[in-house]
């Protein structure tokens, strides 16, 4: 019995020692942790700030930055937009509205086209959805206005005279509707089937 007790006591002291040791270790670690963190911040005090002074120091933004939206033109200077409603459909904040119509030459176009930049979140989904590369985001983000109404851009405000990120693409050269060129004259097309011949 006595042995048991002494063994128990021994175990207990061992345990206590272990606890003390680990406690001490923890304490040292804590102090070291504190010291390290203070040292890091102190070191930062003497580093050169990375701040860029915005209005004086304007960085050139990457071409794919997402800011003010434009409507581009195809290589022939025609409006690329066919008012397919994909951008307004995908817009998560419903800031794009338009009315599509048919031009005399059969071309589909936007009779009116409006983007409310006070609602726009510049997510770029419209550009992603655009099948004709018409709607594109530019890196011009400085469009703050005091009057919200000035942020409602109409088609005239949105239209540019260039092709934006792609100067060569022309939707109507690819699509098989005869707006630009007859059937069979678009890229990758065979001449039209002659339905009135029996020749194979």
Partner 1 sequence: MWLFGLLVLLIKIAAILAVVFGTAAYLILLERKLLGRLQIRLGPNRVGFGGILQPIADGMKVLLKEDLIPADADRTIFKFAPAVVASGALLILAVIPLGRPLTVRGYEIPLIITDLNVGLLYVFALSSMSVYGMALGAWASNSKYSLIGGIRGAAQMISYELSLGLSLVPVALMAGSLNLTEIVEAQANYPFILAQPVAFLIFLISAMAEAKRLPFDLPEAENELIGGFHTEYSGMRFALFFVGEYVNMVVIGALVAVFFLGGWHGPWLPGPVWLFLKAMIVPVFMIWTRATLPRLRYDQLMQFGWKILLPVALLNILITGGILVWING
Partner 2 sequence: MPLLTIDNMDIEVPRGTKVIDAAEQLGIMIPRFCYHKALGPAVGACRLCAVKFMEGPVKGIQMSCMVEAADGMKVSTTDPEAVDFRRHVIEWLMMNHPHDCPVCDEGGHCLLQDETVSSAHSLRRFPGLKRTYRNQDIGPFLRHEMNRCIHCYRCVRYYQEITGYRDLGAMQLASRVYFGRFEEGPLESPFSGNLIELCPTGVFTDKPSRFRARRWDLQRAETLCIHCSMGCNIIANVRYREVIRIEPRYNSEINGYFICDRGRYGFSYVNHESRPRMAQVDGQNLTTAEALRKTAARISDVAQGEGPSAIAALLSPRSSLETLASLSHLAKSRKWKTVSGIFDPGRRSRIRSAVQHLHSDTAISMQDLKNRDFILVLGADPLNDAPMLVLALRQAWRSGAKIAVMDPRPIFLTFDFDHLPATPGEMRACMGAILDSAFEGEKVADEKGAAFLDSLESSSGNEGAHAEMPHRIDAIAEALKKSQRPAIVCGTDMAAEGTGTLAADTVRFLRSRNQEAALLYLMNYPNAFGQTLLEDSDTLTFEACLEEIEEGRIKALLIAEADPFFHYPDRPRLEKALEKLDLLALFDYLPSGTAEKADHFLPTSTLFESSGSYVNHEGRIQRFHPVYEGGTPMLQINDGDHPPRVYDTDGVPGGDPRPADRLIAELGQVLSGDGEVFSDDPWKNLTADIAPFFKYRHLDAPPENVRILPDESSVFEGNREPQSDGDAEAEGLQIIYTEWIFGTEELAAFSKTLRPAEKEPFVCLHSDDAAPLGIGQNDPVRIDFGGDCVLESRAKLFDRMARGVLVIPRHYRLDWKISGRFGGRARIERLRETPGSPSPLEREEQ
Instruction: Please report, as residue ranges, which positions from 14 to 73 form the binding site for partner 2 (by CB under 8 A).
Output: none
The Cα 198–Cα 33 span in angstroms is 90
**Other CB atoms within 10 A of residue 115 CB:** 27
The interface region with partner 1, picked from 5-13, 46-54, 156-164, 170-178 by CB under 8 A, is: 46-54
Among residues 1, 2, 4, 41, the one that binds partner 1 under rule CB under 8 A: 41
Write the DSSP string, 53-107. -TTTSPPPPPTT---SEEE-B-TTS-B-----SHHHHH-TT--EEEEEEE-TTS-
* Per-residue DSSP letter, 193: P
Among residues 1, 2, 45, 199, the one that binds partner 1 under rule CB under 8 A: 45
Q: Does 47 bind partner 1 (CB under 8 A)?
A: yes
The interface region with partner 1, picked from 1-9, 36-44, 102-110, 133-141 by CB under 8 A, is: 36-44
The Cα 82–Cα 72 span in angstroms is 11
Name which of partner 2, partner 1, none residue 101 binds, using a CB cut-off of 5 to 8 Å depending on partner kind.
Answer: partner 2
Instruction: Please report, as residue ranges, which positions from 48 to 67 form the binding site for partner 1 (by CB under 8 A).
Output: 48-51, 53
């Amino acid at each position: 019995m006595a042995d048991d007790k002494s063994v128990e006591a021994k175990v207990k002291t061992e345990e206590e020692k272990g606890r003390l040791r680990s406690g001490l270790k923890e304490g040292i670690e804590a102090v070291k942790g504190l010291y390290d963190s203070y040292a890091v911040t102190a070191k930062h005090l003497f580093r050169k700030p990375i701040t860029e002074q915005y209005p004086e120091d304007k960085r050139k933004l990457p071409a794919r930055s997402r800011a003010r939206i434009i409507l581009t033109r195809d290589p022939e200077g025609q409006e690329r937009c066919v008012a397919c409603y994909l951008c307004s459909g995908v817009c998560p904040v419903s800031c794009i509205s338009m009315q599509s119509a048919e031009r005399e030459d059969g071309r589909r176009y936007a009779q009116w086209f409006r983007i409310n930049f006070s609602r726009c979140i510049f997510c770029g989904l419209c550009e992603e959805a655009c099948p004709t590369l018409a709607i594109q985001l530019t890196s011009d983000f400085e469009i703050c206005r005091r009057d919200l109404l000035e942020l409602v851009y109409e088609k005239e405000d949105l239209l540019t005279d260039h092709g934006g990120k792609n100067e060569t693409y022309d939707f109507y050269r690819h699509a098989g509707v005869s707006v630009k060129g007859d059937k069979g004259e678009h890229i990758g097309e065979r001449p039209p089937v002659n339905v009135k011949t029996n020749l194979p």
